[in-house]
Structure 1
Amino acid sequence: MATIPTTRPTGSHGRRRASRRLGGHPEAPLRWERPAFAAVLVVATLLYGWGIGHAAVHPHYSAAIRSMATSRRAFLFGGLDPSGSITIDKLPDAFWPHAVSVWLFGPYTWAAALPQVVEGVLTVWLLHRIVRAWAGPFAALIATLALTFTPVTVVLNRATIPDTTLTLLLVAAAGALQKAVRTERLLPLITCGIWVGLAFQTKMLQAWLVLPVFAAVYQLAAPGTLLKRALRLLTGGVVALAVSCSWVLLAWLTPAADRPYLDGTSNNNPFSLVFGYNGMSRFSGDPTSFGAVAGTTASRTSGNTGWGMLVNHTVGPQIAWFLPLAVLAAVLSLVWHARAPRTDLLRAGFLLWGGWLTVHGVVFSISNGNHAYYTAVIAPALAALTGGGLALFRSEYEAGSRRRVALPSAIVQTVVWALVLD
């Protein structure tokens, strides 16, 4: 595993030692690392799986899952009923794992919710690998703890909502992008495009919110010439687009008489489902934008909008416990590494997760309403910034530099913020 420089080189022996400790982590796990991470995975499994037999499954989606488990037509198109007369208001891919689980184990609540427990634990495991390769074992452990105990994550990972699958796939995409930046290989970038495409089939346009961030990070930090980086990005983008649109094109090419009617649309058009009902109608004053159905569009709006949405009394306690710490980490890391080489991997990581958080925060703020569980997708970014930030602050504190004040300041800030949210 490549060594990642994480602090600005100086003549100070303490600073060099701190740099090696944070970024230059050994390939072999440290003595405490495996048992600590195993304990986190056990806790995550217990939290997400506790009471799974009485999980808060979504009644609309659960009905579709049962239909999809008993009918090939309903499975392929996301039929709400076994005969496949009408679909759900999402693409079916998000619920294929649930339908397979119900087909295997029977129509039980725990069987419908089981895939989300597995996906939640996999997300924790995957984030650990990604953050460890970026910022070291201490940062990885903190990040996984932060993700595991995020309230909206715990609740959502024992339900039947597509956001859990979306989050897992986008974290996988971030890991592939990180590898592409580090290795200058094309295959990880193609893999990133595949993961983003599959995430699109889970929750459509929301999956594409990370694409500008991914493109910027790769163009800014990956090795190679400007033209070579641009061509590789174009290749990855084409892959993401092809995978994203595969089901939409399948539904569009299938005669309307041979498939269910697409819920949420006024014209039975899959492009209206994606770009209208689940797209522009969320940002437009016209609830019928691009063929969306006005009644169902209005029913899903909420008061969670505006620039204070992430910290309001409904959403804040679910997701925002480490928001000030994450923002502080992103800002200070970029300031401290402003003169680092273009390919500096620590800075690239903070750009990646900070951009993820920023783009989602802006989009959520300007939309016409969000359910609190939508914010589950930013939990990995907050967790990664928390872990990477505390590791960076810790290294500066132990190096004895003027920057050492960042660690106690971050801790005090987090405690005060917790009291505000409580």
Structure 2
Amino acid sequence: MTTTTHLRTGPAPRRAPGAPGRHALPARSPSRLWRGPASTPPWERPLLLVLLLGTAVLYLWNLGASGNANEFYAAAVQAGTQSWKAWLFGSLDSSNFITVDKPPAALWVMGLSGRIFGFTSWSMLVPQALMGVASVALLRVAVRRWAGPDAGLLAGALLALTPVAVLMFRFNNPDALLVLCMTAAAYTAVRAIDVAHRRAGLGWTAATGALLGLGFLTKMLQAWLVLPALAVVIVLAAAVTWRRRLAMLAVGLGAMVASVGWYVLLVDLWPTDSRPYIGGSTDDSFLDLVLGYNGLGRILGGEGNGGGGGPGDGSGNTGFGGSTGITRMFNESFGGQISWLLPAALIVLVAGLAVTWRAGRTDRTRAALVLWGGWLLVHALVFSFMSGTVHAYYAVAMAPGLAGTLAVGGTLLWRRRELLTARLALVAALAATTAWSVVLLRRTPEFLPWLRWVVAVVGIVAVVGLLAGAVTRHAWARRALPVLLVGAVLAGAGGSVAYAVDTAATTHSGSIVSAGPASADGGQGGPGGGGQDGGGQGGQPPSGARPDGGAQQGGQQGGGPGGTTTASAELTTLLQGAGTTWSAAVVGSQGAASLELASGTAVMAIGGWSGSDAAPTLEEFQAMVVAGEVHYLVASGDGGGMRGRGGTDSVGSQITTWVQEHYAATTVGGQTVYDLTSPTTS
């Protein structure tokens, strides 16, 4: 970037101290809002406003069409609007029997919105969409500080238009807050490095740790996958002594532990008989939730984390994300979600590091490549080789790293295009992206069939033109450059943008969702992508099927254990008139969630998410029935519990058997219901 200096003859005009310059704009004028500070390029602020407004429209348009989205979390949000204790602990029901199997930070945000505006689809999902806009804005400013305004805007646009990001920022899973926390932590780390020599550097580092702690309270260990990149870039790029850099890491670690520890202590010190059971744990503790199937188990496999060869064997988890291995990010589950620009990002990362290899230790461009490239690589490797349960939408957490890497590396190579290495790397990145986009578009042959031909033709022309320009100095190459760049953008981003727009225009519900158009066999995002409540495909369990291969619970209609239970008007009226602490009990959280949302009452989820949590025991349930705390039991179609995990000895099976032996069954709205206030035998 060149700077032009204008010389003036004669003395400069004098002005009073503090008075604005002759060309200064009032601080609050509309022109200042549109053009930004005088130090910014004239094109930056208009493009930034277009980016943020466009992202808001993409994420907010027709947002309520998805209804309750994932009913598991929607029921917990509703419960949080009815009970502050349920809000604090993330309870599935307002009477606080059991929590969801995640920490509650994301539910806190949606629950507060529901308390302010009333519980609706919009009040629940709008905070998620706004988190997406905030993530785009924070990524842009974080990248801008070290790589320039053009790289910042490019990074923000790439994140905004990543298909899986569009999906998750319009959905009620915890991933939206997770991405926001991680992106904000990267921004504060950048600020900490910039002012490391001052006391403010420690303050920004503490903020980084606190944000990662909040991310942990959103989705546990996944928030800390960005830690290696943040720690390395602080050690590498902070222009201070080793002692100061170690102090920064210590302050950040202390802040992170403190921001997590208060909640862990709150849960573990709270009397267990006065709080809900910690869903997903084996011993009703938060620590077991972190270390068990929903924490380390997701990476290592084991109990409750089915692999490809069967439940709990950790052999690859082909039931959800495809077989483990270095190619998993490109397979039929993950490919259409995140990998459109992944080959280009890897190419520009390697080339960018090669170009900056001899730069000084604190070089900011290389530091940016280390930060965003480290983020990308750690996530890609963990997701590729984790043996436990993995869903394709997890990839949203690597989207900021992917966008930042491509933006920083791409703009660096473009600025250094006088180097043959940089020019050839740009051509290779475009060629790889064009070829891979065609492959991905062929996985959904009925979706805009002409698009893959446009991408292929335009991409080939752009590659040939850029390659010719890379090896020649003729004037035609410079004159054709704008046209070639437009073609490169169309070829590189055309497929991803089409998938992103299609995702925003499509409703999503259930627990297994993915971005992109439906394939020929009814799934989303290409074969194996998993879908809405239509059938699954390519190794993805069909809607309503359990990943362990067993039958779904009775009345569920989609998403495996994350499916829904249809609540008829008759059953809803029955539950609303129950007048007990829990209007009913049902095996599994998803059946309970659907009944809660329909009736507005508290429904006990026996066994939690999978039906295999040890809550309540048979004796505890019998005592609750005797005390008149549960009015009905709504039967599950498989006789109780997730037999693939809990078997006939699960609490669901035991309770269902006992109820069947002592209470008469009636049919209400097509559902089998037992009235627990009228035993048939003593």
Please say which of residues 49-58 and 90-99 is displaced more in the overlay. 49-58
Matched residues in 1 for 2:190 and 2:409: separation?
18
Matched residues in 2 for 1:84 and 1:369: separation?
27
Indicate how the Cα distance of structure 1 residues 305 and 61 shifts in structure 2: closer, same or farther if over 3 A, else same.
Answer: farther
Larger Rg computed on CA atoms = 2
Q: Deviations over 1:24-47 (max 9, x none)?
A: xx9722111111111111111111
Matched residues in 2 for 1:121 and 1:410: separation?
28
Which among 127, 131, 139 is matched to residue 127 of structure 1? Answer: 139
Indicate how the Cα distance of structure 1 residues 49 and 228 shifts in structure 2: closer, same or farther if over 3 A, else same.
Answer: same
Q: Deviations over 1:16-63 (max 9, x none)?
A: 859xxxxxxx97221111111111111111111122111261110100
Which among 30, 33, 41 is matched to residue 30 of structure 1? Answer: 41
Indicate how the Cα distance of structure 1 residues 285 and 108 shifts in structure 2: closer, same or farther if over 3 A, else same.
Answer: closer
Aligned to 2:226: 210
Shift of 1:297: 11
Which amino acid is the alignment partner of residue 293 of structure 2? Y
Please say which of residues 325-334 and 167-176 is displaced more in the overlay. 325-334
Indicate how the Cα distance of structure 1 residues 409 and 88 shifts in structure 2: closer, same or farther if over 3 A, else same.
Answer: same
Query: Is the CA contact 1:66–1:99 (under 8 Å) kept in the aligned structure 2?
Result: yes
Query: Is the CA contact 1:305–1:369 (under 8 Å) kept in the aligned structure 2?
Result: no
1:229 and 2:248 are equivalent in the alignment = no
Indicate how the Cα distance of structure 1 residues 256 and 97 shifts in structure 2: closer, same or farther if over 3 A, else same.
Answer: same
Secondary structure in 2 aligned to 1:321? Answer: helix
Aligned to 2:406: 386
Shift of 1:72: 0.8
Indicate how the Cα distance of structure 1 residues 402 and 155 shifts in structure 2: closer, same or farther if over 3 A, else same.
Answer: closer
Which among 332, 335, 354 is matched to residue 351 of structure 2? Answer: 332
Query: Is the CA contact 2:132–2:180 (under 8 Å) kept in the aligned structure 1?
Result: yes
Query: Is the CA contact 1:74–1:80 (under 8 Å) kept in the aligned structure 2?
Result: yes
1:396 and 2:396 are equivalent in the alignment = no
Which among 361, 364, 371 is matched to residue 391 of structure 2? Answer: 371
Aligned to 1:7: none
Which amino acid is the alignment partner of residue 380 of structure 1? P
Please say which of residues 98-107 and 82-91 is displaced more in the overlay. 98-107
Aligned to 2:290: 274
1:52 and 2:63 are equivalent in the alignment = yes
Query: Is the CA contact 1:304–1:372 (under 8 Å) kept in the aligned structure 2?
Result: no
Q: Deviations over 1:61-97 (max 9, x none)?
A: 1000000111011011111001111111011111111
Indicate how the Cα distance of structure 1 residues 251 and 203 shifts in structure 2: closer, same or farther if over 3 A, else same.
Answer: same
Aligned to 1:304: 322
Matched residues in 2 for 1:83 and 1:251: separation?
17
Q: Which runs of 5+ in 2 are unaligned?
A: 4-36, 442-682
Which amino acid is the alignment partner of residue 358 of structure 1? L
1:151 and 2:151 are equivalent in the alignment = no
Please say which of residues 375-384 and 223-232 is displaced more in the overlay. 223-232
Matched residues in 1 for 2:53 and 2:241: separation?
45
TM-score normalised over the length of structure 2: 0.56
Misfit runs of 4+, over 6 Å: 294-301
Aligned to 2:339: 320
1:167 and 2:179 are equivalent in the alignment = yes
Q: Which runs of 5+ in 1 are unaligned?
A: 1-15, 19-25
1:109 and 2:134 are equivalent in the alignment = no
Matched residues in 2 for 1:30 and 1:419: separation?
36
Secondary structure in 1 aligned to 2:101? Answer: coil
Aligned to 2:76: 64
Shift of 1:221: 1.4
* Greater helix proportion: 1
Shift of 1:412: 2.5
1:140 and 2:152 are equivalent in the alignment = yes
Aligned to 1:199: 215
Secondary structure in 2 aligned to 1:277? Answer: coil
Matched residues in 2 for 1:186 and 1:301: separation?
45
Indicate how the Cα distance of structure 1 residues 187 and 46 shifts in structure 2: closer, same or farther if over 3 A, else same.
Answer: same
Please say which of residues 253-262 and 280-289 is displaced more in the overlay. 280-289
Query: Is the CA contact 2:105–2:217 (under 8 Å) kept in the aligned structure 1?
Result: yes
Query: Is the CA contact 1:281–1:297 (under 8 Å) kept in the aligned structure 2?
Result: no
TM-score normalised over the length of structure 1: 0.89
Shift of 1:286: 2.8
Aligned to 1:10: none
Matched residues in 1 for 2:320 and 2:260: separation?
28
Matched residues in 1 for 2:294 and 2:319: separation?
12
Secondary structure in 2 aligned to 1:411? Answer: helix
Matched residues in 2 for 1:65 and 1:369: separation?
24
Amino-acid identity (%): 38
Aligned to 2:235: 219
Indicate how the Cα distance of structure 1 residues 210 and 402 shifts in structure 2: closer, same or farther if over 3 A, else same.
Answer: closer
* Greater strand proportion: 2
Indicate how the Cα distance of structure 1 residues 123 and 27 shifts in structure 2: closer, same or farther if over 3 A, else same.
Answer: farther
Q: Deviations over 1:347-383 (max 9, x none)?
A: 0110011111111111112212311110001111111
Q: CA RMSD in A?
A: 2.3
Please say which of residues 147-156 and 244-253 is displaced more in the overlay. 244-253
Q: Deviations over 1:127-184 (max 9, x none)?
A: 1111111111111121111111111111111110111100011000001111111221
Q: What is the number of residues matched between the two proteins?
A: 395
Query: Is the CA contact 1:305–1:370 (under 8 Å) kept in the aligned structure 2?
Result: no
Matched residues in 1 for 2:192 and 2:362: separation?
12
Matched residues in 2 for 1:31 and 1:180: separation?
28
